[in-house]
Amino acid sequence: MTITFIGHGYVGLVTACVFADFGNKVWVIGHTKEKIERLKKGDPIIYEPGLKELLQKNLKENRIHFTLDYENAIPESDIVFIAVGTPSKKNGEASLDSVFEVAEKIGKHLKKGTTVVSCKSTVPMGTNNKLKALLFRVKPKNAEVFIASCPEFLREGNAIYDTLNPDRVIIGSDSKKATDALTELHRPINGKRVITDLASAELIKYTSNAMLATKISFANFISFYCEKTGADVETVLNAVGLDKRIGRIFMDPGVGYGGSCLPKDVRALIKMGHTLGIDTQFLDGVKSVNEQSRKNLLNKILKHTRDKTISIWGLTFKPNTDDIRDAPSVFVIQELLKHGYTISVYDLAGIANMRKIFADQLTYHVSPYEVVRNSSALVILTEWNDFKQIDLKKVKKLMRYPLIFDGRNIYEPKMMKEAGFSYFSVGRKPILK
């Protein structure tokens, strides 16, 4: 098949490279000349393990092509995927400006014959019907177009694996031609097929992300009880997770969820609920606990640091990505700067993106050891594996005071006590030296 992706973010670029690797001819349309030129040279722009190699392989095989123009890609495409961002507006509603903008361009460039337009962007229920109406309004009379919703469920940091091995492939459409085409395209991909209607496909994506956010917030909610009573949150959740009805996956206490999906999708689902007349107290609570989790760690730092010179390990919202959108680190750093702290930071992939926000307000380091030199405290905000294997004796020698605030519970309190650190984690008794 010939396929076009509009958008080259985590979803668009990864999925495009995977489908190109299956032997399809793939176009990727962007809107920034500088980024398109970088992609043509094999630079994926974003940090994702294995993506650079996959991109360069398919460029070499001439299976993937990057362009700013719709006129070359759209007319020859069998399937066009919309994979642009739907960021939150100030009121929490998902912004659909980019979705409708690219849909209109797609419609105007459709060819005589049949094309499937499939939306991978996360959009509120009813959006795909609006896209269908828009496409029919602007398309040439001799062009036949069918709309579908095919949401993605990839995890940043594991995006290639998740694209190849999803738990499920959701195809929502009222068209058998669209369903058949997308089913055939996804034939090499694992996962259970769920064939459904447009509204259900749209809601499946929001429901999945809301559930994941709920599990994280629930774990943090229980951590509040643990800190007040002296219970150990890891022991509690491990025991609860042994119940097969519950499980432990994604029920991890810490500084809360972040990234490009969970925060905005919870906000969007709340806004949709208000529009539909649904009481959203449940999701309001999920969002509130997430905010409390960040403030909880911040308050520990403000209360227990001896001076205001601190270092931070981890800036991205999770490991194996360079994404800092809605990352807890951004909130924590902003608040500490307001309180007059001098902050040095280190991350394996997120430094460049953090510079765009804070510029010279922070000191940036390329070593996890150099960043802690003469620091009065270390704050851990991302659970990179490198931090779990670090030489803590060396860290202690470099620091002015052996004080660690662990927002991801990557160390065992007993080990930290033996290493001579004062140690504050989430939902566990502090170690005071």
The 3 state secondary structure assigned to 259-328 is: CCCHHHHHHHHHHHHHHHCCCCHHHHHHHHHHHHHHHHHHHHHHHHCCCCEEEEECCCCCCCCCCCCCCH
Residue 113, sorted as left (phi over 0), alpha (psi -120 to 50) or beta, turns out to be: left
Name the residue with tokens 């089913």. Answer: 183
Pick from 376, 383, 372: which is nearest to 411 by CA?
383
Cα 163 from Cα 13, distance rounded (Å): 11
For residue 396, the number of C-alpha atoms closer than 13 Å in the C-beta half-sphere is: 13
Residues facing residue 185 across a β-bridge: none
Asked if residues 79 and 1 have their Cβ atoms less than 8 Å apart, the reply is yes
Residues facing residue 65 across a β-bridge: 27
Structure tokens at 372: 């802690």
Name the residue with tokens 């599990």. Answer: 215
Residues facing residue 422 across a β-bridge: 403
Asked if residues 267 and 92 have their Cβ atoms less than 8 Å apart, the reply is yes
Cα 412 from Cα 429, distance rounded (Å): 11
- Does the active-site annotation cover 261? yes
Residue in 17, 150, 226, 261 annotated catalytic: 261
Pick from 262, 218, 258, 259: which is nearest to 241 by CA?
218
**Cβ neighbours, 10 Å, residue 210:** 20
Name the residue with tokens 């994604």. Answer: 250
Q: List residues with catalytic annotation.
A: 261
